[in-house]
Amino acid sequence: MTVLIVAEHNGKQLATATLNAITAAQKLGEVHVLVAGSDCLNLVEQVSKINGVAKVLHADAPHFAELLAEEIAPLVVSLAAPYTHLVAAASAFGKNIMPRVAALLDCSQVSDLTEIVDEKTFVRPIYAGNAFVTVQSDEPKLVLTIRASAFSAAVSGSQNAPIEAVMATPAQDLSRFVGRELTASDRPELTQARVVVSGGRAFGSAEQFDALLTPLADTLGAAIGASRAAVDAEYAPNDMQVGQTGKIVAPELYFAIGISGAIQHTAGMQDSKIIVAINKDPDAQIFNVADFGIVGDLFEIVPELTKQLQNR
């Protein structure tokens, strides 16, 4: 059994979620990684050093630079023949590209899987994580996307997997890349952080969200997350949203502050090791999933918490 992983990257660095996918795929067989891009030889070399990678396929063309689904999907399909599984992380990148691959190959895709039982059997969440379904397929080829938080990240070693240049498929010219705006941050990435502090609607304004959560996050070396209500109210940018339709996180320590605990939110954080809830409503649902809860006003508790942590 040989698996092809489609690498997510920005031309310089591999996305960490791909490292989680590499770990997951090792359960299925030999792992090859496809790096498609434009002028990214350094990256290709980085990938060849990751433990568990048996071969790196490198496709270089200007039209691969922005990793558009219309360009990458036909490339993956052109390389698919020897592989039993075509895999990517269930990030915005993987979710965008892999179903297109599956349709072109006319095969099933198991989305956002959390467990690989065997090469035909997988577990995945449905209904915002209210249930986990075990699915099976006898198809000769399957497309999989991997929930990164369910698998550890592969690490680099001293190995050098062979690198093979592959033919670029021709440009499709169906869509054109216009631009990308990324939120700059020197904080740890939300999905990889050891500690996440998340705020909800209760903060009342972007200023207060920032004024209260930033010092707490700085003190803890944490990433900042948000509920959908907080994102909708523009207290935080959309890529900070945790939940069914946002990011799935599973840090060692998660703070839910002024967040009610709707299932769509808890779907994205219930695998955290320790959950702390701060909410003024003693009956808030969030307390049902929290290891430690404080009932009270966040505008008093958060500054106090930050102060006491700084003084430790």
Ligand X SMILES: Cc1cc2nc3c(=O)[nH]c(=O)nc-3n(C[C@H](O)[C@H](O)[C@H](O)COP(=O)(O)OP(=O)(O)OC[C@H]3O[C@@H](n4cnc5c(N)ncnc54)[C@H](O)[C@@H]3O)c2cc1C
DSSP labels, 234-277: TSS-GGGBBSTTSB----SEEEEES----HHHHTTTTT-SEEEE
Site residues for other proteins, 254-283, by CB under 8 A, read: 263-264, 270, 273-276
CB atoms within 10 A of CB 283: 9
CB 216, min distance to ligand X, A: 14
Q: Which is nearer to other proteins, 54 or 104 (CB)?
A: 104
One residue of 12, 41, 62, 103 binding other proteins per CB under 8 A = 103
Contacts of 40 (CB under 8 A, 6+ apart): 9, 11, 12, 60
3-state secondary structure 9-21: ECCCCECHHHHHH
Q: What single-letter amino acid sits at 79?
A: L
Q: Which is nearer to other proteins, 181 or 186 (CB)?
A: 181
Two structure tokens written together for 63: 């039209």
How big is the CA angle at 307 (ends 273 and 220), to the nearest 5 degrees? 35
30-38, 48-56, 210-218, 297-305 -> range binding other proteins (CB under 8 A) = 297-305
CB 10, min distance to other proteins, A: 9
Q: Which is nearer to other proteins, 161 or 290 (CB)?
A: 290
Q: Give the separation between CA 229 and CA 276, rounded to whole angstroms.
A: 19
Q: Which is nearer to ligand X, 94 or 200 (CB)?
A: 200
Q: Which of 5, 298, 48 is nearest to 161 (CA)?
A: 48
Sign, Cα dihedral of 298, 301, 307, 308: negative
One residue of 190, 213, 220, 230 binding ligand X per CB under 6 A = 230
One residue of 32, 85, 100, 201 binding ligand X per CB under 6 A = 201
Phi and psi at 140, nearest 5°, equal: -65, -20
290 sits near other proteins (criterion: CB under 8 A)? yes
The one of ligand X, other proteins, none whose footprint includes residue 281, by CB under 5 to 8 A per kind, is ligand X
Beta bridge partners of 277: 256, 293
246 sits near ligand X (criterion: CB under 6 A)? yes
One residue of 7, 298, 305, 306 binding ligand X per CB under 6 A = 298
Per-residue x/- mask for other proteins, residues 31 to 60, rule CB under 8 A? ------------------------------
87 sits near other proteins (criterion: CB under 8 A)? no
73 sits near other proteins (criterion: CB under 8 A)? yes
57-65, 78-86, 202-210, 239-247 -> range binding other proteins (CB under 8 A) = 239-247
CA distances from 169 to 36, 68, 71, 133, 162 (A): 11, 13, 8, 36, 22
CB 3, min distance to other proteins, A: 18
Does residue 285 sit in helix, strand or coil? Answer: helix
Site residues for other proteins, 159-198, by CB under 8 A, read: 173-183, 191
CB 189, min distance to other proteins, A: 8
The one of other proteins, ligand X, none whose footprint includes residue 220, by CB under 5 to 8 A per kind, is other proteins
Sign, Cα dihedral of 45, 77, 122, 96: positive
Residues that bind ligand X (CB under 6 A): 200-202, 227-230, 241-246, 258-260, 262, 264-265, 268, 278-281, 284, 297-299
